[in-house]
Structure 1
């Protein structure tokens, strides 16, 4: 089976590795950028994603990139404790949660793709069009520095992010991602060790928020922290051009002033922001849920399919789950013997039927779940405890149990884990998504 992947981000590279592990070899990854530079800041890989990377044989190299947080703490804008919970192994999972630099993870996945599949990443390839052929294959047209080229695949997978060209071809009237009204500033800074060096902190409410977590081990009382500062109604994001610029660097000074009073025990927010190596400004945008991901022999994964707000730290993890689920269904169909030698017309028909069945199985497994999760993130996901604290006790509180009973806080946390597919009992007990070589 000839497979073309559009996009060499986390989702696209994880898809290539998942397909290779399922026994597929004829894979090409097309990337719009002229080089993979490993850009970005921090991200969290939740235990369900680490399980998949472990089964792909990548856990050690990914674990070496970052830190395994053991505790997540929610606070209000006054630094008062709302809720805390263990994370990763400390929460009873068989796999850790890992905080890593997105760019370093992308480069590690790229290297793994080259090791497994060879020189299959085509840089400087901008998707222009995809046309279905009479035999069920898809002819893809790319713009390159040397002019337009075409390639024909039995399956095309769009992993090209929130501004997906493949998604735009299928939904040409969709327009720009809707803006939530919130602006994010993301950065990395050297700072005093955060609590015990393995703690994530989220502080604030629906109008202003600060998130920090470690990206490196403590050294001489300091460590690298990833942070996200968030403010409602700030930022000139009225045009698609602005919304599309994910690497817009800004002066940290004005951002630090927005958080001038946010100095809590062990957490000096304005100092962290002021000391950032670089601050990137983002609009908080997502995409509306789609009624269909698959058209012909094309489908979507990751942000191209279901870009969502970062509430819950789930975007990269869900892209990896998409990749593994798609590869599982394709590999299972092949192992069942539905896809056979592609030489004869009858065999081509059988192979096509297997692809169609696998794509239907993938979409049935992932799209309804992601539609529900997207709605949950728009309702702030597990961060709802911070909104409730602000609504019910805007000036702070003496006892959080008088504001939000423990049972309510527990259910908010557990409901999100169930929706995102990483409740410990569900994740620890479900069957593997790994498959062997196709028959």
Structure 2
């Protein structure tokens, strides 16, 4: 079986490694960019993703790049705790959670793919069309600086992100990703360790929010590298350039009153060497991912808001699920259908959940019920209600400890 993967991001590279591990070795990865530069800031890999990386035999390599958060805590915009829960091994999982720089993760996956795949990643190839052939195969057509390139395969996987060319070919009237009305500013900063030095925090509500988590342990001076996302609802159309570098000072000023006993939010923003601006967008759920012998994966299939820190993890789950079904089904078509049946309904539900703010709903409820703060959170949101919000999201995202720990492996039997 010959397989083409369009896109060398987290999902595409994870797919290549998963297919190879499943015994499907005729794989070619095409990437639009002329070089894989490892762009981005922080990303969280949740325990269900770490399970898959462990079973792929790459978790040790990836774990060396980041840190394991012990706790996830939600606060209001006054720094008062709304909800806190253990994460990773401390929460009863057999696998940890990992916070890592997205660029370092992508480069590590690239290096692993380069070492394992027979074909090198083909850079500078922009997908322009896919044509179905009479024998069931598909021909991908690419534009390159040297001219057009065609390649024919039994399966073509679109793992080319939120602006997927393959998705656009299948849904030409869809248009640009819909904007939420929120703008995100992402950056990495070096600041004094906060709380226990291993806590991921989210503070605020649906109008304004700040997220931060360590990307390194504390150094001798007590400071650590921290990824942050500052978010605020703003006017405009959401047509801002992606990855546009902006001056930290005006963003810090938006959070000027957010100085908590345990974290100086404007100070953390102001200390960033660079801040990149993004519109907060996602994609509507699709009625179908697979057309003939082509299918979608990761953000190309189900780009979602970052509520829940789950996008990269779900792309890895897509990759492993697709590889499992393609390698175990009696036919290619059955394998593609089983993959879509396993993943698309779950992602449709998860997309709806992230649009409803996912597990961060506890912060919004605190804002709605106690906009000026509170003296006792249990009087605002009872503990049983907060716990249910957290558990419901884990169930929707597929990482309740009791389910994940006992779920059958996605490693095909040899």
Q: TM-score range by the shorter chain?
A: over 0.9
Residue 436 of structure 1 deviates from its aligned partner by 4.5
Cα deviation code 1:166-197 (max 9, x no counterpart): 00000000000000000000000000012111
Q: Is the 8 A contact 1:329 1:361 kept in 2?
A: yes
d(CA) in 1 for partners of 2:199 and 2:35?
34
Q: Does 1:298 align with 2:294?
A: yes
Residue 406 of structure 1 deviates from its aligned partner by 0.2
Q: Is the 8 A contact 2:181 2:238 kept in 1?
A: no
Question: Which structure 2 residues correspond to residues 362-381 of structure 1 after superposition, within 5 A?
Answer: 362-381=339-358
d(CA) in 2 for partners of 1:26 and 1:277?
42
d(CA) in 2 for partners of 1:290 and 1:301?
12
Question: Which structure 2 residues correspond to residues 66-105 of structure 1 after superposition, within 5 A?
Answer: 66-105=66-105
* Alignment partner of 1:255 out of 251, 257, 262: 251
Give 3-state SS (helix, strand or coil) of 2:395's partner: helix
Residue 277 of structure 1 deviates from its aligned partner by 1.9
Q: Is the 8 A contact 1:21 1:436 kept in 2?
A: no
Root-mean-square deviation over aligned CA pairs: 0.9
1:268 counterpart residue number: 264
Q: Is the 8 A contact 1:29 1:122 kept in 2?
A: yes
2:230 counterpart residue number: 229
Cα deviation code 1:35-60 (max 9, x no counterpart): 00000000000000000000011111
TM norm structure 1: 0.93
Q: Does 1:409 align with 2:410?
A: no
1:286 counterpart residue number: 282
Give 3-state SS (helix, strand or coil) of 2:304's partner: coil
Residue 327 of structure 1 deviates from its aligned partner by 0.3
d(CA) in 2 for partners of 1:436 and 1:156?
24
Q: Is the 8 A contact 2:28 2:121 kept in 1?
A: yes
Question: Which structure 2 residues correspond to residues 147-158 of structure 1 after superposition, within 5 A?
Answer: 147-158=147-158
Which segments of 5 or more consecutive residues in structure 1 lack a partner in the other structure? 339-353
Cα deviation code 1:269-315 (max 9, x no counterpart): 00100011210000000000000000000000000000000000000
2:310 counterpart residue number: 314
d(CA) in 1 for partners of 2:115 and 2:409?
24
2:334 counterpart residue number: 357
1:329 counterpart residue number: 325
Residue 266 of structure 1 deviates from its aligned partner by 1.6
Cα deviation code 1:349-407 (max 9, x no counterpart): xxxxx010000000000000000000000000000000000000011111000000000
TM norm structure 2: 0.99
d(CA) in 2 for partners of 1:214 and 1:11?
23
Q: Does 1:129 align with 2:121?
A: no
Give 3-state SS (helix, strand or coil) of 1:121's partner: coil
Q: Is the 8 A contact 1:249 1:281 kept in 2?
A: yes
d(CA) in 2 for partners of 1:263 and 1:237?
30
Q: Does 1:426 align with 2:414?
A: no
Question: Which structure 2 residues correspond to residues 36-115 of structure 1 after superposition, within 5 A?
Answer: 36-115=36-115
Give 3-state SS (helix, strand or coil) of 2:273's partner: strand
Q: Is the 8 A contact 1:5 1:158 kept in 2?
A: yes
1:197 counterpart residue number: 197
Q: Is the 8 A contact 2:26 2:118 kept in 1?
A: no
Q: Count residues with an aligned counterpart.
A: 413
2:138 counterpart residue number: 138
Which segments of 5 or more consecutive residues in structure 2 lack a partner in the other structure? none
Q: Is the 8 A contact 2:25 2:118 kept in 1?
A: no
